[in-house]
Amino acid sequence: MIIVQILINGLLLGGFYAVIGVGFSLIWGVTNIINLAHGAMALLGAYITFFLFQEYGIDPFLSLPFSFLCLFIFGYILQRFLLNLVVRAQIFMLLILTFGIEIFLVNFMTTFFSADFRSITPEYAGTSFVIGDIVIPYIRLAVFAICIFVTFLLSLFLNKTWHGKAIKATSLDLDAAMMVGISPAKIYALTFAIASGIAGVAGSLLPLTQAFSPSIAGSLTLRAFTVSILGGLGRVEGALIGGILLGIAETLSSYFIGESYKNAITLGIMVLVLVIKPTGLLGKKYFAEVKH
Amino acid sequence: MKRLGFMIVILSLICLLAAPLFAADVIKFGAAISLTGKLAKEGNLVKMGYELWKETVNKKGGIKIGNKYYKVDIKYYDDESDPNRAAKLVEKLITEDGIKLILGPYGSESVFSTSAIAEKYGALMVQGGAGADKLYTRGFKNLFGVYTVATEYMDDTLKMLQNKTPKPNTVAIVYSNDIFSTQVAQGAKASAQKYGYKVVYYKDYPKGTQDLSTVIVEIKAKNPDILIGCGHFQDTVVIVKQSKDYKLNPKAIAFSVGPTLPDFVTALKGDAEYVFGSAQWTPVLKYKDPVFGSNANFVKAFKSKFRVEPNYHAAGGTTAAIIFQRAIEKAGSFTDINKIRQALLSFNEETLFGKIRFDSTGKVVGKGMPVIQILKGTQRTVYPDNVAETKPVYPKPAWR
């Protein structure tokens, strides 16, 4: 029965990984920017939630929309006025720029918020519902539900609204999109803003389940990276599948092989996917490749 | 001309010989320490310890050698929590800055790398920032440390619990796979077996992991009486949170690192209650000290300078500097490395950190490892009995 518990843990963990990864995947697929500052931006969301809880006692779940809004605005400004300047340049330039932004953000957070590890323990922390031998913590379940909801909302946005379809159009064929009156700069900025907002939401969920500090920014970006590779770039559903797969892979490998090999195995899986199906498990063609 | 040349030579010789007399009456110490990076918090605390010592000693005139007083100064470099960088910076301190009295960095990896540099160049290092046993098994002559070593971290805790009712029989040990934590776990296992416990779980996890749900679930299946976690602050918080999530209810939970840091209670609130921690030092231990007079005085001085309570990282730093000072005073020199080393080897004094004595490898002996417990949201010293504030609470009530 312990294996069922392990699988459920993996599933719930996977939902969280999906939310970390979906923004990263979207930006990469649509604007061709590999946002190495993704983890750092998620941490900004984490700090917003942490400080709201600590100073004003605001429940972490209630701070999510606020976190989304703050990171949305931040992402929009960052893309529109900084990243947009180099978005047509070689991918190497973009990597350096986002890497620089990551360094800046991490050091900013370390200087002003200190390197202390933070965590939130609200009243209802640790409560779970029990079915026989299986324990399902409420917070983890809520985090999973939010992740599914966010992914669903994003999918709805991309497929049903004008702006969403414009984003997809831009990533498929930039010239054609421009011909029908879509402004790439604005669309890129919108995409980046949404992805940043979602990163902020993911970060806001961090303090509930673990302790965070600016030093974990890199590992969050790595998770986002792995999820994107597994699921296929730019595909929202792909990120969800990729995230859940990653979560289950982690918990299973921890159980069968050992916790210390967990990272080696999950990265091994990523390499395997790159070798066997480089476009990811759900990706058809690499979105951006359709460009010329 | 020849006479002028001769005069110049004589004058230069006199200047050279007299230079030491004109040199500033300052004893220079050097330290590469983690002011930024993963270990920034601890590194800065150690630096605060060094700074308080420096200020206190200089206020009294300085270190006394013979009839003269020498002020002290410390040159710092930021090793960014990177052991390789720390080693390079210590090499810089020795070769470029000409400093042979090195105050240790924070963290076993950094002390490991920098002490090798100090040994190579014949510089002395006294450190209050690392306790890995491996530090003292390399045959080095120039390294001295005040931390009780890793393998002895959990010994007093297990000793304290062995006769409590209901008697605990089984122990689960989980640890982070870095040098220090691995050795704490090995020592904990040996101590557990020494005191007659059965070790039912013994596994490691990657350093800095953010999810331990599988491990917690596995431990729960073994139903141990005592859960021992050997890691660092970040994983300790995760273990407590996830123990509550999955309803893991041992009779006692003890960590090698974590509960002694004030942020432990801030992060976990009520869930931190009843958790035990091993402490190199606590502010309430009733020890006398050669520089501050007593541990209590040290705590007061620290609070008035930095406006926070000192923790063991800061106390360790101050103690390392105090020991260096006392050794220099005993040796009667701050440049004769051999004499200072001899003074360190024969050191046997009570300091704010405890009764300090070193064995031939530079490892501190006989200091012990006090145990604290979080009770009503504050850290209380519960062991050893003769310096404890209060009695430990056992067994731990089940999670609600």
Provide the pLDDT for residue B17.
Answer: 56
Predicted ipTM of the assembly: 0.76
Task: Look at A140 and B218 and tell me if their CB atoms are within 8 Å.
Answer: no
Q: Which residues of A touch B46 (CB under 8 A)?
A: none
The dihedrals phi and psi of B372, each to the nearest 5 degrees, come to: -115, 160
Provide the pLDDT for residue B308.
Answer: 92
State pLDDT tens for residues A137-177: 888 899 899 988 998 999 899 889 999 988 888 877 788 88
Task: Look at B206 and A263 and tell me if their CB atoms are within 8 Å.
Answer: yes
Provide the pLDDT for residue B16.
Answer: 58
Closest CA–CA distance from residue A35 to any residue of chain B (Å): 22
Provide the pLDDT for residue B24.
Answer: 59
Measure the CA angle with vertex B323, ends B318 and B327; round to 5°. Answer: 150
Burial classification of residue A233, based on how many CB atoms lie within 10 Å of its CB (0-12 exposed, 13-18 middle, 19 or more buried):
buried
Query: Which residue in A has a C-alpha nearest to residue B212's C-alpha?
Result: A259
Query: Is the pLDDT reported for residue A125 higher than 60?
Result: yes
Question: Out of B210, B270, B399, whose CB is closest to A210?
Answer: B210
Please name the amino acid found at residue A185.
Answer: A
CA nearest A153: which of A196, A97, A194, A181?
Answer: A194
Q: Could you give the CA distance from residue B227 to residue B242 in angstroms, rounded to a whole number?
A: 13
Burial classification of residue A27, based on how many CB atoms lie within 10 Å of its CB (0-12 exposed, 13-18 middle, 19 or more buried):
buried
Beta carbons of B255 and B276 less than 8 angstroms apart? yes
Considering chain A, what is the average pLDDT of its residues?
A: 87
Chain A contact present for B73, CB below 8 A: no
Q: Which residues of B touch A121 (CB under 8 A)?
A: 241, 267-271
Taking only residues 262 to 291 of chain B, the set having a beta carbon closer than 8 angstroms to any beta carbon of chain A reads 263, 267-271
CA nearest A279: which of A240, A245, A228?
Answer: A228
CA nearest A227: which of A261, A270, A196, A274?
Answer: A270
Q: Which long-range contacts (CB under 8 A, 24 or more apart) does B364-369 make?
A: B364/B144, B364/B145, B364/B146, B364/B147, B364/B148, B364/B149, B367/B146, B367/B148, B368/B148, B368/B156, B369/B148, B369/B152, B369/B153, B369/B154, B369/B155, B369/B156, B369/B157, B369/B278, B369/B279, B369/B280
Q: Could you give the CA distance from residue B143 to residue B117 in angstroms, rounded to a whole number?
A: 11
Strand partners, B229: B174, B255
Provide the pLDDT for residue A291.
Answer: 44
Task: Kindly give the pairing relationship between strand A128-131 and strand A134-137.
Answer: antiparallel
Query: Is the pLDDT reported for residue A286 higher than 60?
Result: no
Higher-scoring residue by pLDDT: B389, A20: A20
Q: Which of B47, B245, B249, B275 to mutate to test the interface with A (most CBs of A within 10 A)?
A: B245
Q: Which residues of B touch A263 (CB under 8 A)?
A: 206
Provide the pLDDT for residue B18.
Answer: 52
Q: Which residues of A touch B267 (CB under 8 A)?
A: 117-121, 211
Provide the pLDDT for residue A290.
Answer: 47
Question: Out of B40, B215, B263, whose CB is closest to A110?
Answer: B40
Q: Range with the lowest mean pLDDT among A122-126, A217-221, B1-5?
A: B1-5
Indicate the helix (H) or strand (E) that contains B201: strand B198-205
Indicate the helix (H) or strand (E) that contains B372: strand B371-375
The dihedrals phi and psi of A154, each to the nearest 5 degrees, come to: -65, -45
Provide the pLDDT for residue A284.
Answer: 60
Residue spans of chain B under pLDDT 50: 21-22
Q: Please give the sequence-ordered ranges of beta strands (E in DSSP) within B301-360, or none if there are none.
A: 348-351, 354-357
Share of chain A residues as helix, strand and coil, in percent rounded to the nearest 5:
75, 5, 20
Peptide bond preceding B20 in cis form (omega within 30 of 0): no
Provide the pLDDT for residue A285.
Answer: 52
Beta carbons of B183 and B151 less than 8 angstroms apart? yes
Provide the pLDDT for residue B206.
Answer: 86
Query: Which residue in B has a C-alpha nearest to residue A113's C-alpha?
Result: B41
